[in-house]
Chain A
């Protein structure tokens, strides 16, 4: 069994309730933190090596240390619970089943950052989850952990829930802040970064749910102890939400030393491919990151076993590697069609583009249409290069990383599965009635050449 930090008590009956959570050691990190200097808390988080769990993987302690602290200006902590990256459902799991962990992390983080009013921005669709988190807030308030002068420390701590209303882009931190201000979720031009000018023009830190939850064990056990779990710059534990054609979809907490192969085939995790089928491909970190064919997923281009961590999943760059992303692990079996799957991903990005930047607004729609034609037996050979061209012109040419997120899955699908695209186009009738099946996996070196 790997070490559990966030989910260790998830199966304790009644853990949603304050009293049970407290009995199991909950809220100790608040008592400990309130006796510490705020700067020392930030130092502990830095020492832990914790990296943002929302997808970008930016070091949390560093993000915290960037927060501007001008005299007489409010500072804000905003928790990003707008979980919307296809394949990702770990934050919901935390909030739904162990909500006090998030509240505990919010209180400690708010204290460390000097945020007396903090917000949890929850995607609107998670309506019932917002109720569960609100109940946890109410309980914590009754017990004196939220409100004025918490536990007699002199620190005021309010936590409010803000419900989104259906917009993937609000997971981008500046779009989220726009939304929090009651506007359309249009990402802002950076700089200034939120740490300088965030919510209502005030210095703001935006952190993912899992990141904030991880602050609890870091304060309890110390940053150094946390940094010793895992490997290299992948410290601590990571939640992986696994879905697709596997026997045991669900949320798993891993220490980042296990191999991808173990994660997919071990009964402790995904339990192998459903119906005894073979693994065709996988998106290891949410729909934005490159899809990999089975051979490159399980082993790097150098032939080494690939591990479930930031460095190893990214080994080979985007040519032969992928990314840890948000931990949304999507598995495709041998019967799945890469063209169709990428079509749904492209449709998703077209639907969710905020429309501010023309490369993204126009490009995502264009890609969706090309995919639709290829999938429906109306593609032309030159469409493959056209898709490549369009995605390349979106990447890096937009205000926010959404453009990249829309481009990368298309690039990777063509890079690794070009033969499947060609088969679709050359067999317009056959592709309507059957799928290509297991890909003729490209030789990694050949893929570089293309």
Chain B
């Protein structure tokens, strides 16, 4: 599968490069990887090679960066990724129960994706939302003050959204 950004996206890449000093286009790497992941859901080797070609980097320079930062998915993920925080402050407010509940509800383990490719469950370390714990990241936004009822509601919303968009 060949990877190619749209002309609009390529303009965005060039805009990003201009934000850094001349000759320092490597600084745009994290931003371009974010853009690529937004488009494809995850970063395949093909995608990373394409990013390398855009920024005139060796592929290894892209791989080493993509594998360092936890937000980049190097394997395919579901349409909706639940990234549940499990660090101290969320633990104090019951994140273990939330993780357990999601596992049972979706019938998957942490790190797995549902058979229909809809949901992936991951645990993450501190999201910086400790006052609104327990919390998870779902795409661009946080879902805070999680309860089993709220999880049910989120899952239902995801299914409805997905059905509407198909």
Among A96-153, those with CB < 8 Å from B are: 117, 123-128
Given contacts A241-B131, A330-B130, A125 and B86 within 8 Å (CB-CB): no
Given contacts A86-B87, A345-B88, A243 and B30 within 8 Å (CB-CB): no
In the complex, the answer to whether A164 meets B88 with C-beta atoms within 8 Å is: no
A184–B137 CA distance with the chains assembled, in angstroms: 23
A344–B134 CA distance with the chains assembled, in angstroms: 14
Give the B interface residue count (CB, 8 A).
42
A160–B27 CA distance with the chains assembled, in angstroms: 12
Among B3-54, those with CB < 8 Å from A are: 19-21, 24, 26-31, 33-34
Given contacts A183-B26, A244-B92, A89 and B131 within 8 Å (CB-CB): yes
Please give, as numbers and ranges, the residues of chain B lying within 8 Å of A351 by CB-CB distance: 70, 125
- Could you give 12 example pairs across A and B, Cβ below 8 Å? A86-B87, A92-B129, A123-B128, A165-B70, A182-B55, A249-B131, A250-B131, A330-B130, A336-B92, A340-B91, A347-B87, A347-B125
- Against B, the Cβ 8 Å flags (1 = close, 0 = not) of A329-357 are 01010001000110011011001101000
Please give, as numbers and ranges, the residues of chain B lying within 8 Å of A332 by CB-CB distance: 92
A74–B140 CA distance with the chains assembled, in angstroms: 34
In the complex, the answer to whether B30 meets A348 with C-beta atoms within 8 Å is: no
In the complex, the answer to whether B140 meets A164 with C-beta atoms within 8 Å is: no
A44–B69 CA distance with the chains assembled, in angstroms: 39
In the complex, the answer to whether B130 meets A127 with C-beta atoms within 8 Å is: no
A162–B130 CA distance with the chains assembled, in angstroms: 23
- Specify which of A165, A200, A345, A347 lies most central, judged by the most chain B CB atoms within 10 Å of its CB: A165
Please give, as numbers and ranges, the residues of chain A lying within 8 Å of B92 by CB-CB distance: 243-245, 330, 332, 336, 341
In the complex, the answer to whether B132 meets A249 with C-beta atoms within 8 Å is: yes
Given contacts A181-B27, A183-B26, A74 and B130 within 8 Å (CB-CB): no
User: Is B79 among interface residues, defined by CB-CB distance under 8 A?
Assistant: no
Q: How far is the CB of A124 from chain B (nearest CB, A)?
A: 5
Please give, as numbers and ranges, the residues of chain B lying within 8 Å of A180 by CB-CB distance: 27
Residue of B nearest to A123 (CB): B128
Give the A interface residue count (CB, 8 A).
56
User: Is A179 among interface residues, defined by CB-CB distance under 8 A?
Assistant: yes
Please give, as numbers and ranges, the residues of chain A lying within 8 Å of B101 by CB-CB distance: none
A351–B126 CA distance with the chains assembled, in angstroms: 11
A124–B65 CA distance with the chains assembled, in angstroms: 14
A128–B143 CA distance with the chains assembled, in angstroms: 12
A340–B55 CA distance with the chains assembled, in angstroms: 45
A181–B19 CA distance with the chains assembled, in angstroms: 12
In the complex, the answer to whether B129 meets A128 with C-beta atoms within 8 Å is: no
A251–B132 CA distance with the chains assembled, in angstroms: 11
Residues of A within 8 A of B (CB): 74, 83-89, 92, 117, 123-128, 158, 160, 162-168, 179-185, 200, 241-245, 249-251, 283, 287, 328, 330, 332, 336, 340-341, 344-345, 347-348, 351-352, 354
Q: How far is the CB of A121 from chain B (nearest CB, A)?
A: 10
In the complex, the answer to whether B130 meets A344 with C-beta atoms within 8 Å is: no
Given contacts A167-B69, A243-B89, A330-B88, A126 and B141 within 8 Å (CB-CB): no
In the complex, the answer to whether B21 meets A125 with C-beta atoms within 8 Å is: no
A88–B127 CA distance with the chains assembled, in angstroms: 9
- Specify which of B33, B86, B87, B133 lies most central, judged by the most chain A CB atoms within 10 Å of its CB: B87
In the complex, the answer to whether A249 meets B130 with C-beta atoms within 8 Å is: yes
Given contacts A86-B126, A330-B88, A184 and B68 within 8 Å (CB-CB): yes
15 more A-B contacts (CB under 8 A) besides A125-B71, A126-B128? A85-B126, A86-B125, A89-B128, A123-B128, A124-B69, A162-B27, A165-B33, A166-B70, A184-B65, A200-B21, A241-B131, A244-B130, A344-B87, A344-B88, A351-B70
Which 3 A/B pairs are nearest by Cβ-Cβ distance?
A: A165-B69, A166-B71, A182-B29
Please give, as numbers and ranges, the residues of chain B lying within 8 Å of A125 by CB-CB distance: 71, 127-128, 137, 142
In the complex, the answer to whether A168 meets B125 with C-beta atoms within 8 Å is: yes
Q: How far is the CB of A266 from chain B (nearest CB, A)?
A: 17
In the complex, the answer to whether B34 meets A124 with C-beta atoms within 8 Å is: yes
User: Is B64 among interface residues, defined by CB-CB distance under 8 A?
Assistant: yes
A287–B125 CA distance with the chains assembled, in angstroms: 12
In the complex, the answer to whether B27 meets A345 with C-beta atoms within 8 Å is: no
In the complex, the answer to whether B125 meets A348 with C-beta atoms within 8 Å is: yes
Q: How far is the CB of A305 from chain B (nearest CB, A)?
A: 25
In the complex, the answer to whether B68 meets A185 with C-beta atoms within 8 Å is: yes
User: Is B72 among interface residues, defined by CB-CB distance under 8 A?
Assistant: yes
Of A128, A163, A245, A249, the contact of B31 (CB 8 Å cutoff): A163
In the complex, the answer to whether A352 meets B125 with C-beta atoms within 8 Å is: yes
In the complex, the answer to whether B30 meets A164 with C-beta atoms within 8 Å is: yes
Please give, as numbers and ranges, the residues of chain A lying within 8 Å of B34 by CB-CB distance: 124, 163, 165
In the complex, the answer to whether B72 meets A184 with C-beta atoms within 8 Å is: no
